Amino acid sequence: MSASPEILLLAMRSLPHGPEFRFVDRMVSLTPGVKGVGEYHVRGDEYYLRGHLPGEPIFPGVLLVEAGAQVAGMVAQEDPANPSLPRLKLTALRAVKILGSARPGETLRIEAVITGRLGSMIQAEVSAFIADTKVLSAELALSGTGPAEKQ
């Protein structure tokens, strides 16, 4: 069951990133602590597209991974069974496959499923799509400062 519009907005507010490093425009669905889907529209005016690749800009693969980590982080932070983790960060990558990319005018659909959690470590599987074409699959780990730990 997906979360209410209010929870979707709260999840977006849980991202610690500034606007220039946010690769999720909106959450489409969220099952707190379990899975979620976000979207990012590649506008074409992003600063990093000027140099990647001049004349034929594409959304960088490493930023596809970051978008997946951001969606996974929002899913994990909204888990009602666990406290949120301050300073949640991407800490490990595995089985990353960049199968394509997005171009200006296209919208990425980013999906994340939490596959495990142990203390302040979260494991997730993420995928990104342009329409029905998968452009990313990855397993990743996020870790944060536990609620009782000092930052």
Q: Using one digit for the tens of pLDDT, what is the confidence trace for 82-137?
A: 988 888 999 999 999 999 999 999 999 999 999 999 999 999 999 999 999 999 99
Q: What is the domain partition of the chain in residue ranges? A: 5-143
Q: Exactly one of 52, 103, 117, 134 is catalytic; which is it?
A: 52
41 noted as active-site residue: no
Digit-coded pLDDT (tens) for 45-59: 998 888 888 889 999
Per the CB < 8 A criterion, the answer to whether 36 and 75 are in contact is yes
**Euclidean distance between the first and the last CA atom of the chain, given in angstroms as a whole number:** 34
| CATH no., domain 5-143 | 3.10.129.10
* Percentages (nearest 5) of helix, strand, coil residues in the chain: 25, 35, 40
Give the model's pLDDT for residue 150: 43
The per-residue pLDDT for 146 is 63
